[in-house]
Structure 1
């Protein structure tokens, strides 16, 4: 019998507690759009929070300005993969400070994509033994992957992700047709570029099939 979602979440939380890093444990929750990354990270935070400080961050706080994100065209998959996010800010503002040689002072955000403006958020101090749960797309790309202490990749078939996006992203794009255009032209091909370069299904410590979000299937669990 396959484990339930609650059992998978409990096993993940236990795996994080077993890690013995002296610095903040930096955990990537990776996967394509609409795979369930934010929900899984939030649920993990609820399990871990009573016992350790949890730092919940996401890649949406580290966008590039729109002029950079759209410079190859609004529907460019290369633009989505290469230009969307400020990876240097993630490394210098979050992952290095929370790593083994860091001082624990991290920047929780650098940019608000909704108003296309940089934000000036005061650095925050991580407690000893804290756990960073950072969700987003493309987290195992070459610029970032060596900074994570543990990584979880959520796999969802493209058509499954698109079906979810038709509902989830309708308020953002205004019509089902616009959602489909954005996914078929930009997001799904951008994910293909990512998988071809970074091979996240092989590199992640844990890979979960989330085509059925209520019953994730363990595809890989290393270590």
Structure 2
């Protein structure tokens, strides 16, 4: 984690945007929190956000398919909202604040009016599936991919989501989320653009697989 933080800080001054992607349940959110702590200890102000907080509201779900794998990939996330509230303000030195959340995915409460100051040298760390889709790929100064096996992704996700999905959790992960990920990997082809690829099969022992240097 310290090695990754060093690479982030080594990108220089000014605002930096770091994207963390990987299969569902790869450990993106926890990794982002730990990376934020390391970057903060290195002396940089840090902001944390997750793309899950910029999904389209459930009240509009009748307008589009979000239940199939393809529907989830095409329709679940509101990329115009994440650009307008989060990525554009953090990328522009002329903006002093941003919103770190759109619609809370659990409570469905609207947080779009809640803003957070953005320092001139802030590091924004964002985790989420499909982080390197064409709609938002150009924003990132550093791209991180957490690598896990597909079956491990399904198993972790099923355990994580059993409270709301019940016995159908594994089926949802296999037939919706994994299908969506495969479409993403085939269409967006994000892997050649990764700056860091990290094997996160063991949460306590992440392993650097590849690192692209300038």
Q: Same fold (TM over 0.5)?
A: yes
Superposed, which structure 2 residues align to 1:199-214 within 5 Å?
A: 199-214=189-204
Going from structure 1 to structure 2, the CA distance change for 1:79 and 1:67 (only over 3 Å counts) comes to: farther
- Which of these residues, 25, 35, 42, is aligned with residue 34 of structure 1? 25
- The 2-side partners of 1:74 and 1:98 are apart by 29
Query: Following TM superposition, where does structure 1 have runs of at least 4 consecutive aligned residues deviating by more than 6 angstroms?
Result: none
What's the TM-score once normalised by structure 2's chain length? 0.91
Partner of 1:63: 55
Partner of 1:216: 206
- Which of these residues, 12, 16, 23, is aligned with residue 8 of structure 2? 16
Partner of 1:119: 111
Choose 163-172 or 116-125, whichever is displaced more: 116-125
Secondary structure of the residue that 2:100 maps to in structure 1?
A: coil
Q: Does 1:137 align with 2:129?
A: yes
Unmatched 5+ stretches in structure 1:
1-8
- The 2-side partners of 1:119 and 1:208 are apart by 32
- The 2-side partners of 1:211 and 1:70 are apart by 37
Q: Does 1:181 align with 2:145?
A: no
Secondary structure of the residue that 1:110 maps to in structure 2?
A: coil
Cα deviation, residue 209, structure 1: 1.8
Q: Does 1:99 align with 2:91?
A: yes
Q: Is the 8 A contact 1:69 1:83 kept in 2?
A: no
Q: Is the 8 A contact 2:157 2:169 kept in 1?
A: yes
Cα deviation, residue 27, structure 1: 0.4
Unmatched 5+ stretches in structure 2:
none
Q: Deviations over 1:130-161 (max 9, x none)?
A: 11111111000000100111110112111011
Superposed, which structure 2 residues align to 1:158-177 within 5 Å?
A: 158-175=150-167
Q: Is the 8 A contact 1:152 1:205 kept in 2?
A: yes
- Which of these residues, 40, 47, 52, is aligned with residue 38 of structure 2? 47
Q: Deviations over 1:42-65 (max 9, x none)?
A: 111111223121101111211101
Partner of 1:6: none
What's the TM-score once normalised by structure 1's chain length? 0.88
Secondary structure of the residue that 1:29 maps to in structure 2?
A: strand
Secondary structure of the residue that 1:97 maps to in structure 2?
A: helix
